[in-house]
Amino acid sequence: AEQCCVSLSVNPSRGLMDEKFIILVQKALPGFQLTIHASYHCEDGNSWEAFAHYTADAGGTVNVSQDTSLGGTYSGVEAMGLLWSLRPVPGSKPGLRLRKKNVQTPMEVTISVYQGHQTEGFVDQVPLASVLVERWYMAPGVCRIPITEEGLTATLFVPAGNGPFPGLLDLWGGGGPLVEYRAALLASHGIASLALNYLTPKTTMETGKMVDNQYFEKAYKFLQQHPQICDSRIAMLGLSLGSAFTLKMAVYSQVMKLRCVVCIGGSHVQPVDGSVEQVLGYMEKNSEKTRFTENNEMIWRDLLLPIPTDPSFKVDVGRLKCPLMLVVSEDDQNWPAPESAKDMKEMMERAGNSHLLTVLSYPNAGHLIEPPYTPHVRISMFRTVVMALWGGQMVEHSRAQEDAWKKILIFLRENLYDSTKPGATTLSHL
């Protein structure tokens, strides 16, 4: 009863997905042991939780951004641990991945304080205090516009304000449907971003035919012609399979004049004159190189190995004319990103354009480098049929996501805005 007046605050209680918050517990007894718990009910009906054990200081206070967690789903001083260590509650089905489908509503996380150092049974207890926290991909004023013209299946996110804004074409990997949350978050940072569905767009669903490479050029032209987008300041970002087409279009397209390119967990290995269907076919042809863990999780990284010497099977990055950032996870079990990055670097050094290359490499990070504080999943259900092993260790992977996002935003800003500061990236070719 003496603990009934514990107070809990989270600041800001409403913020962007990549914003840090401060969790403060006050008015506890000095030395009081408590558990801070986070719970999230996903749109797919699954529940996730994280928790950590703390001891109140002499003033009866716990500040999560300064104090040490003594145990739980993470330990040590971790300001955002209650988000990045979220995991499916006990008894959940295996292979879950936390992904926000509807970016027009916030991720609502309940932060609660419980008495004592607890590890289970949270649902059956009454917390001493609780706060509902809203985490948004869309900042106030960002517009979400579904795009169907020109045969495109895409969603455009336009930043708040009048513009004109720099633009970005955002490609995800082989999972299929349209993924919007990264484009929404980029627009929240001032870049008009088009999330493009290139594997299961309406035209493919209706005709059974996969899109050709002109589909990407149509998306680029759509951005170029948009009244709120600056037509000479467009970038492209691809993850996984998306990076294959990002690299291909950046090097070979006569139409796309990109300011810069970001590739996360990808490779230049592919039939260089191949369509989407042919790139997938090339991988399919190597499917006997798939490995399995003892739990039957699939490891696909060998499908593109060894890196070919035949130039018709890798994008000639030596011809690239715009800055390229590669985000590489050294424990990527899905794509041979480290080997590919090494080969791309060598190709660019030989061609004399390696000054355009930035490589971010993260030990013990897995394939899925997502926006900050997204919970790490080492394994998840892929296309509802197989378990894919992505790799990575939770703490290092979480650090990598935070660091990479910060550096991606800086790289995009430096290349998409005219910069006057000395030593900034100069864009003489434009």
CA 121 – CA 117 distance, rounded (Å): 12
Residue 343 falls in the annotated catalytic set: no
CA 102 – CA 136 distance, rounded (Å): 10
List the catalytic residue out of 267, 332, 343, 398. 332
Q: Are 338 and 371 in contact (CB under 8 A)?
A: no
CA 183 – CA 173 distance, rounded (Å): 14
> Letter for the amino acid at 163?
G
Q: Are 168 and 186 in contact (CB under 8 A)?
A: yes
Q: Report the run of H or E that residue 410 belongs to, with start and end.
A: helix 394-416
Beta-carbon neighbour count of residue 355 at 10 Å? Answer: 10
Q: Are 19 and 1 in contact (CB under 8 A)?
A: no
Residue 47 falls in the annotated catalytic set: no
What are the CA-CA distances from residue 402 to residues 240, 264, 386 (Å)? 18, 14, 28
List the catalytic residue out of 367, 376, 380, 397. 367
The 3-state DSSP class for residue 366 equals: coil
Residue 149 bridge partners (DSSP): none
The 3-state DSSP class for residue 260 equals: strand
Under DSSP, the state recorded for 148 is -
Cα-based angle 319, 240, 107 (whole degrees, multiple of 5): 130
List the catalytic residue out of 112, 240, 267, 380. 240
Residue 37 falls in the annotated catalytic set: no
Active site residues: 240, 332, 367
